[in-house]
Amino acid sequence: MTKVEEQDNKGMLEKLVHGFPGSVFEEENQGECIAEYTEPHGVDIRIEMLNKSFGDLHVLKDIDLEIRAGETFSIIGPSGTGKSVLLKHIVKLVKPDSGRILIDGHDIFAKKPKDAPREYRYSMVFQTSALFNSLTVGENVGLWLREKRICNEARIRRIIRQKLRLVGLEGKEDFMTSELSGGMKKRVAIARSLAMNPDLILYDEPTAELDPVTSDELARVIMDLKKEVNLTSIIVSHDLNFAFYLSDRVAMIHEGRIIEIGTPAELKASENPVVKNFIFTTTKGITGA
């Protein structure tokens, strides 16, 4: 990764940090961690009649979707159908032309009164992992904690160890990212996201560039996290086996619209010809994919 790419990734990480008032970071930490650094709680997400166009291209068309607190929810569909654009709306990187998104009942794009509840915390695991090659594994995981002075140094080191343990990389703090396999880099990226104690974590094509065995290992890591961490997870993936294995429910987008929502079993049994064709084609016709 070049220095320019590292700066771009760092800028994106900064944009993906929400839920802490800026004034908090101007004060010295009095305890181990600031009060706002609380344990995560899964959030409910409701999307109502969401529309987004870029010029003449109508990307999202009347999107209606509900994701339950603590759920692992996957969004599937052909390339160019708006999956990543929808993710960017949920993390407020893009504003809709119309419609709204509610998190725990609160419109995330509405102007909030002073007594509004704290914003939800979210983090994203990027398709390329977006790690900084100039930093060790531990420094990557603890980057946000140190830059925002969330905790004192002793507590940060404990958090780093804890998050690496959750993804099966205990004791790897001093490794350089160049020493890691592709699958290990993905797990470091997840650990870095978990260090924020997010209420919502988003995965953008998490199995991209991974072989099937490594993809299975990553799936088990994410599945195990569900048992230990109370958060809502949204996965955008072209890997249907990965999505169906992990997800409580799945939504399929086609030509900017959600055409099917259900459990993995329900989507596999769908009689919608577009859904059937997509699953058959993507899995190369493997029965029971």
pLDDT attached to residue 41: 87
8 — pLDDT class (breaks 50, 70, 90)? low
The residue behind tokens 């320019």 is: 4
pLDDT over 60 at 141, yes or no: yes
Q: Are the C-beta atoms of residues 48 and 99 closer than 8 Å to each other? A: yes
pLDDT attached to residue 288: 44
Q: What is the pLDDT of residues 67-117, one digit of tens each?
A: 999 999 999 998 888 898 999 999 889 999 999 999 999 898 887 755 555
Average pLDDT value over all residues in the chain: 84
Q: What is the pLDDT of residues 40-77, one digit of tens each?
A: 889 999 999 999 999 999 999 999 999 999 999 999 99
The model's pTM: 0.82
Say how far apart CA 257 and CA 59 lie, in whole Å. 9
pLDDT attached to residue 120: 76
Say how far apart CA 72 and CA 70 lie, in whole Å. 7
pLDDT attached to residue 186: 93
pLDDT attached to residue 79: 83
Phi, psi for residue 54 in degrees, rounded to 5: -120, 100
pLDDT over 60 at 1, yes or no: no
Element (H, E) at 107: strand 106-107
Q: What percent of the chain has pLDDT over 70?
A: 84
For 167-262, where are the alpha helices, taking DSSP H only?
182-194, 212-228, 240-246
Name, in order, each residue with C-beta under 8 angstroms of 267's C-beta and a sequence gap of 6 or more: 244, 250, 252, 260, 275, 279
Say how far apart CA 128 and CA 189 lie, in whole Å. 9
Phi-psi region of 21 (alpha: psi -120 to 50; beta: other; left: phi over 0): beta
Say how far apart CA 143 and CA 270 lie, in whole Å. 44
34 — pLDDT class (breaks 50, 70, 90)? confident
pLDDT over 90 at 159, yes or no: yes
pLDDT over 90 at 14, yes or no: no
Of the ranges 49-58, 188-197, 276-285, which one carries the lowest mean pLDDT score? 276-285
pLDDT attached to residue 209: 83
Name, in order, each residue with C-beta under 8 angstroms of 134's C-beta and a sequence gap of 6 or more: 6
Q: Are the C-beta atoms of residues 254 and 78 closer than 8 Å to each other? A: yes
Q: Are the C-beta atoms of residues 235 and 243 closer than 8 Å to each other? A: yes
